[in-house]
Structure 1
Amino acid sequence: MPKRVPLLLLILLLSACQAIQPKGQAQPAAADQPLAAASVPPAAEQTGAGLAALSNDQLVALAADQRLSGEYEAQAATLQQLLTQQPSAAQARQAQFGIAEAALLAGQADSAAQGFNVFLADGQTDALAGRGLFLLARAHEEAGRSQAAIAAYERYRTLQTPLEPYAALRLAAQQEALGQVEAALVNYEYVGQQPIGRARRAEALEALIKLYGAAERTDLQLARYRDLLGISRNPEYRPLILWRAAQLIPGTDEARAWLRELVDAFPLRGEAVEAVNVLQADPAGGLAPLQAANVYFAHERYVDARPLFEAALAGQLAAEEQFEARRRYALCLRAEARYDEALHELGALAQARPAVAGTAQAELDYIQTAGWAGNVPWAMENYRRFPDRFPQHKLAPEALWRVVQLME
């Protein structure tokens, strides 16, 4: 069932696209435009004998509603009723297309391919025919008939529609599946340079990276990584690409720049920890101790973070950076059960005047550390007093919640 979701999105895109006219030409009215005057009949009339009482326009409107609801078998039955009661109706061709489309959406690839072949046999060249040709290729693809899919995609590409690059992408995938690597590379390269959606361009570039990697063509693989980084903005995706690209050319300035971007922009990602490990071991890594410490701290690598915080504090830091580095250094001590040292550091921060933005957090950390050290009654009492000391502070609810947790 999950495969039907992207397929339905593709079909909706085909519906919106001026699918048969060459790029830049005007598009005549499509044969499958919605029938504005038709209304969907009541549910009681949507099965059995009720369908026979409906007009052709009502049957088409009902089928469209069933399609949107995912009732593909019912959609096909409704359209078949139209063909049965009036094979020569003006809507007959639209019904033929809809029956084949419903089969494809229902996962019946063989039936869909057969239906689209029948639909296309009349030789018409309107927008609906272009959509049918693309979906015929998809039906062959889903049925595992790669060679037939290739032929259909190649036919579709000659139409020069706005969706031609997407057909080229699917064509390349089928060529790759058949081991036609050089042909696939040509089409993936073409798609990778087209002004289409970033996700589909990324799909083509990823395929190129894989194929060039298998052929040990590192220069081309690296070039495609650069292209991919040029379009990758997703914070869940870009860190992975940065890490993989850097691994391809270790020890170079370009790789170091990618690793530093990982550390700076995506410190919470696992790849950032790996980047810190590499840069720390590289004499030319150029990573400041505080940057490395903050990444390790974010990933609870407190033993690794502590000496780096020490090194950072021994250097020159801005006042806010120094305060936060001291607080995190104290929490590293606490994680190592060095409670007295942690309390000393946190106490100094909490009592420092004038108060700064992190003062309340330092005091809350001090209370928690005292509780960890075994002084639970004192911690509970001071959690209760925290809202009085810092009225309206965003941490006040957290302090009271910790009292509840300790009581449990």
Structure 2
Amino acid sequence: MSHQPFKFHRPELARGYCEALQGTGIMDARSGLFLAAPRRTGKSTFLREDLLPALDKLGWTTVYVDLWTEKETSPAILIAREVRKSLFKFSGAITKLAKAAGLERVTVFGALSLSMASLSLPENVSLADALEALVEASGKPVVLIVDEAQHALNSKEGMDAMFGLKAARDRLNQGAGGQRLFLVFTGSNQDKLTQLVLKRNQPFFGCRITKFPKLGKEFSDAYTDDINLKLAATNQFNKDDVFEAFKLVGHRPELLRGIIADLALDGAAENLAAELKAEASSFREHVWGAMESEFAALSPAQRAVLERMLQTGAKYAPFTEDSLKAYSALAGQEIDAAAAQGALKGLRDKNLVWQAAYGDYALEDESMVTWYQHRTKDKSL
């Protein structure tokens, strides 16, 4: 008997986000939808298999860009490349538009539609121009989804691309023509993604970050049913046990699948519950143990700065009087601004802390917060 690969769909969630983009739901995301969730928790799968099909059903033109796939390539180039690919699908319509619009527009639209050798947009064509061309050529609203958008913060070119998207949104959504450009940004680090919306000098100031909901018991139950169909009647998983394991691995489907696969092949049905929990707990303890070792190897100043970041999250301000006092109290020695700057550099070198192109700091791995909360709780007992 053949089995199809397991897939879990979330149509109601996709429908809710579509309504938010249109401003017709409880949430209004017409200025931009920002979704934050840790890596490997199903966010990108949801975008590809649920949200994009839902947007297609609305008749909108969709452009999907994943900045994680080519981290060494400028986000500006990645975004421009995907917009150009979409434009190329409508090259015939663009050529007609160009001829109808006159010589100046022939240069703009012609360059976009006919020259695909370069990854970047032509010098005289902005990202807003390209997206406007796509709207006109397709005759439909355009939805641009930028997955792992926080990578745009790492360079001036990436930030310029974000400001270019804001300019395109403002230009295309003016007037009586209705909304013609919808923007969706996702990030695996909420603190980093927040840097796009937090301050007045940031491109999407005033937008809010929405926490992408974790997969829950509905997912683990459906997955358990699928796995049990492939196993002998004497070697079945219990749904509650699987859900407990799922929680222990941080609601990450890929990690759960790995543990389940190892245990299912052993065939020891009577020990499945205990082994499932033990395997999941072992994985979490391994990850937390590595974090504890990294933390212990830091200098007193580095530990103090990292602890302050873990305590304050997105509100972290490295050189305020309160932060300097906190560093000194945590380290048991005076930490001035110069020492704090040196500690931050050391933390960046160790890939524990990330710095945006314009100076703000955030944790490189947000899961450290859970480890730190657990560590602090244990010490208080």
> For this structure pair, what is the TM-score category when the shorter chain's length is used for normalisation?
under 0.3
Higher helix share: 1
Higher strand share: 2
Question: Which of the two has higher C-alpha Rg?
Answer: 1
**Relative CO higher for 1 or 2, CA cutoff 8 Å, sep ≥ 6?**
2
